[in-house]
Amino acid sequence: MPEELLHKQFAPYVPKKGEEYMSDRQLAHFRTILETLKAELMQDIERTVHTMQDEATVFADPNDRASQETDIAIELRNRDRERKLIKKIEETIAQIDSGDYGYCSGCGVEIGIKRLEARPTASLCIDCKTLEEVREKQVAK
């Protein structure tokens, strides 16, 4: 068993021999990961809001003001990404509740424990995701 920890404090899931895919134990494992990740993101957003309020300084020097505005813009962009990820986490938790978690929304096959460990919000198997990326590249040309 690898000693690397998933999402800082979670050991990779090791299925028992003969264990059914997406058993209650597996679903509980992924729910815990998703809820912890969501809580961490919410803390980051809260911390950013407080930091931005505390550091709201008006600089006389235009260069300092521009640097501060750039920093704020980058921080807000990051928080927007995190807000979208929180929404995706909530949708994924709803999939766990409905019994659809762990299965590809494109073709219905098992996504796989290792892929879900790497990306707990994955909704496509590796084949469907690869195909989607190829299509995106073709449309972008």
CATH number at residue 112: 1.20.120.910
User: Are 29 and 101 within 8 A, CB to CB?
Assistant: no
Q: Please compute the mean of the pLDDT values over residues 22-36 and round it to a whole number.
A: 95
DSSP symbol at 100:
-
Q: Does 91 map to a domain?
A: yes
SS3 call for 122: coil
Averaged confidence pLDDT in the chain: 87
Q: Does 8 map to a domain?
A: no
Q: Does 10 map to a domain?
A: no
Is the pLDDT higher at 123 or at 14?
123
What percentage of residues in the chain have a pLDDT greater than 70?
A: 89
pLDDT in tens, 78-133: 889 999 999 999 999 999 999 999 999 999 999 999 999 999 999 999 999 999 99
Give dist(CA 61, CA 96) in Å, integer. Answer: 52
Domain residues for the domain of 53 are 24-140
Tokens found for residue 107: 């073709």
Q: Does 7 map to a domain?
A: no
Give dist(CA 100, CA 60) in Å, integer. Answer: 56
Backbone angles phi, psi at 103, to 5 degrees: -120, 140
Instruction: Specify the pLDDT at position 1.
Output: 30
DSSP of 32-98:
HHHHHHHHHHHHHHHHHHHHHHHT----SSHHHHHHHHHHHHHHHHHHHHHHHHHHHHHHHHHHHHH
Give the count of domains, the chain. 1
Q: Does 9 map to a domain?
A: no
Instruction: Specify the pLDDT at position 44.
Output: 86
